[in-house]
């Protein structure tokens, strides 16, 4: 069984002919993508990655993970954006949001180098005390401010604690195959290195060493992850809108956008999905948010957020639609016990599976929200495991590419990310940015 799109609840919002009407554009997007003729066509490595990856490196990833498991209590993963979100999403979804709190036979994993907060950095330094630490630095260039700053700190910590020689064996660099500061340093120091392919952008990189090494360290079966992605690659190759749920999803979200919806809310009913939401938001937000266009990606985790954002979704501004990720089977169920007193009035749930209760909450919510005027689509995912994770990643990646072409943007660049960096460098007095500094400071007053 594979991931499926259920559009039953869209009926009162989208007419059947609308899908027919957008079909030629979807097929054009399909051709653009498969013929590699569109904007951003230098970054299509992800399309064949699930089958066409470096087997030798894949084995080295597994070997490195075993070594880290054997000599490390705490792995620091240094990276930002696409070099951070995918691995963390996998860890929380496939192991647990409380992975670092649970007893287990794999190392703790903390993500650093994704902010400039000294409080955060000091906290992670405290967590490293008395623990055997290794580092996976993930950066294409090695000069991105946030990870580079963190790497300075933790490389020094390892070298002071273990000596230069042992520290070298505790640093794993995921970086460019040939060029850049981090690659040069790694070659000189003899760090084991893994490759960020040239044709795979950051937000599409979770199925490369970027995501796979931290996953493997956490005991996640990365063969099964790649197998799931390969299954999606096969299933979602067909250029027929009726037979391709990934394309249908891309089509409907564009139909809703063109009707004036401005926000797509990704909804799930599992707290473990929280970081998948963040991964999704980067994927779609960074791919589509350009040329003053794009659906604003937001997320909620129900039923938690039914008691915070639920009121707004039910009755507030009608600016959004919902895409519900319906995880159809829990990893392990829990049965509600009978209480002879029934003071809380919950005995109508006695001996009921909590997963059934959760599922009825989902159905009840979908009906309530559509009744309230919010279009709902449902992505049915059979369960939470490595295969489904890999499948879902590929599904969303391809949906995002097709969706971006439907929107008529380049889904693979991110020119806007440089703007804040340039200003920050100028304000910090980085050599080469002197001219802008005075001008910016005048604006700050």
Question: Phi then psi for 111, rounded to 5 degrees?
Answer: -105, 125
Residue from 4, 289, 380, 382 in contact with its own copies (CB under 8 A)? 289
326 pairs with which residues across the strands?
A: 380
Select from 28-36, 48-56, 59-67, 112-120 the region that touches its own copies (CB under 8 A).
Answer: 112-120
Catalytic residue among 264, 278, 286, 397: 286
Residue 106 sits in the site that holds its own copies (CB under 8 A): no
What one-character-per-residue DSSP string does 375-421 give?
A: -EEEEEE--SSHHHHHHHHHHHHHHHHHHHHHHTS-TT--TTHHHHH
Contacts 24+ apart (CB under 8 A), 309-316: 310/365, 313/265, 313/369, 313/372, 313/374, 314/368, 314/369, 314/372, 314/374, 315/372
Residue from 140, 170, 248, 290 in contact with its own copies (CB under 8 A)? 290
- Give the residue from 178, 192, 164 showing the smallest Cα distance to 61: 192
171 pairs with which residues across the strands?
A: 135
Residue from 270, 322, 386, 397 in contact with its own copies (CB under 8 A)? 270
The tokens for 241 are 């809108």
Which residue, 17 or 429, has its beta carbon nearer to its own copies? Answer: 429
Which residue, 149 or 224, has its beta carbon nearer to its own copies? Answer: 149
Q: Give the residue ranges of DSSP H helices in 135-221.
A: 145-168, 181-189, 209-217
Select from 22-30, 166-174, 192-200, 284-292 the region that touches its own copies (CB under 8 A).
Answer: 284-292
Binding string to its own copies for residues 165 to 204, with x set by CB under 8 A, is what?
----------------x--xx----------------xx-
Please tell me the distance from the alpha carbon of residue 139 to that of residue 340, in angstroms, as a whole number. Answer: 59
Residue 414 sits in the site that holds its own copies (CB under 8 A): yes
Site for its own copies in 324-353 (CB under 8 A): 330-334, 336-337, 339, 343-346, 348-349, 352-353
* Angle ∠(80,83,87) on CA atoms, nearest 5: 115
Which string of b and e fits 297-336 if b means at least 16 CB within 10 Å?
bbbbbbeeebeebbeebeeeeeebbbbbbbbeebeeeeeb
Q: How far is the CB of 199 from its own copies (least distance, A)?
A: 19
Please tell me the distance from the alpha carbon of residue 268 to that of residue 245, in angstroms, as a whole number. Answer: 19
- Give the residue from 369, 400, 267 showing the smallest Cα distance to 326: 267
Site for its own copies in 366-385 (CB under 8 A): 367-369, 371-373, 384
Residue from 296, 328, 380, 382 in contact with its own copies (CB under 8 A)? 296
Q: How far is the CB of 24 from its own copies (least distance, A)?
A: 25
Active site residue 286: yes
Which residue, 50 or 411, has its beta carbon nearer to its own copies? Answer: 411
Residue 288 sits in the site that holds its own copies (CB under 8 A): yes
Q: How far is the CB of 385 from its own copies (least distance, A)?
A: 12
Active site residue 421: yes
Residue 162 has, within 13 A of its CA and on its CB side, a CA count of 22
Residue from 119, 165, 351, 438 in contact with its own copies (CB under 8 A)? 119
Residue 134 sits in the site that holds its own copies (CB under 8 A): no
Q: How far is the CB of 56 from its own copies (least distance, A)?
A: 28
Q: How far is the CB of 191 from its own copies (least distance, A)?
A: 13
Residue 297 sits in the site that holds its own copies (CB under 8 A): yes
Give me the sign of the Cα torsion angle 105, 65, 211, 78: positive
Place of tokens 């705490």: 74
Place of tokens 């473990």: 272
Which residue, 67 or 430, has its beta carbon nearer to its own copies? Answer: 430
Site for its own copies in 138-167 (CB under 8 A): 142-143, 145-146, 148-149, 151-153, 156
Please tell me the distance from the alpha carbon of residue 158 to that of residue 170, in angstroms, as a whole number. Answer: 8
Site for its own copies in 299-318 (CB under 8 A): 301-304, 306-318
Active site residues: 286, 421
């Amino acid at each position: 069984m594979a991931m499926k799109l259920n559009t039953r609840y869209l009926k009162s919002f989208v007419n059947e002919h609308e899908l027919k009407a957008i079909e030629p554009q979807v097929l054009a997007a399909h051709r653009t993508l498969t013929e590699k003729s569109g904007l951003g066509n230098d970054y299509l490595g992800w399309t064949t990655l699930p089958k066409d990856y470096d087997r030798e490196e894949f084995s080295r990833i597994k070997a490195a993970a075993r070594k880290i498991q054997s000599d490390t209590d705490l792995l620091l993963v240094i990276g930002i954006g696409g070099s951070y979100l995918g691995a963390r999403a996998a860890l929380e979804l496939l192991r647990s949001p409380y992975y670092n709190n649970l007893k287990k036979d794999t190392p703790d994993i903390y993500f650093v180098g994704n902010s400039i907060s000294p409080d955060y950095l000091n906290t992670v330094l405290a967590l490293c005390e008395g623990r055997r630490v290794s580092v996976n630095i993930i950066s294409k260039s090695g000069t991105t401010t946030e990870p580079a700053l963190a790497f300075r700190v933790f490389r020094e910590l390892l070298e002071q604690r273990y000596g230069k020689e042992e520290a070298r064996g505790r640093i794993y660099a995921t970086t460019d195959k040939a060029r850049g500061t981090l690659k040069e340093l790694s070659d000189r120091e003899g760090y084991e290195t893994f490759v960020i392919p040239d044709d795979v952008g950051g937000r599409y990189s979770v199925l490369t060493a970027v995501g796979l090494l931290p996953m493997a360290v956490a005991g996640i079966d990365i063969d099964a992850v790649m197998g799931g992605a390969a299954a999606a690659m096969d299933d979602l190759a067909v250029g027929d809108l009726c037979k391709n749920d990934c394309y249908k999803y891309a089509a409907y979200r564009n139909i809703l956008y063109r009707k004036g919806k401005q926000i797509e809310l990704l909804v799930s009913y599992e707290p473990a999905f929280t970081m998948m939401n963040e991964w999704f938001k980067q994927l779609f937000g960074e791919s589509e948010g350009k040329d003053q266009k794009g659906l604003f990606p937001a997320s909620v985790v129900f039923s938690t957020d039914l008691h915070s954002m639920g009121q707004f979704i039910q009755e507030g501004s009608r600016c959004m639609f919902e895409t519900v990720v319906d995880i159809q089977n829990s990893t392990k169920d829990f049965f509600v016990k009978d209480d002879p007193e029934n003071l809380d009035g919950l005995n109508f749930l006695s001996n009921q599976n909590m997963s059934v209760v959760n599922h009825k909450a989902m159905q009840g919510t979908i009906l309530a929200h559509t009744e309230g005027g919010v279009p709902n689509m449902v992505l049915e995912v059979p369960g939470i495991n490595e295969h489904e994770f890999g499948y879902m990643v590929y599904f969303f990646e391809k949906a995002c590419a097709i969706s971006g072409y439907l929107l008529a943007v380049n889904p693979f660049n991110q020119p806007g990310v440089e703007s804040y960096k340039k200003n920050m460098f100028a304000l910090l007095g980085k050599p080469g940015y002197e001219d802008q500094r005075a001008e910016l400071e005048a604006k700050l007053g």
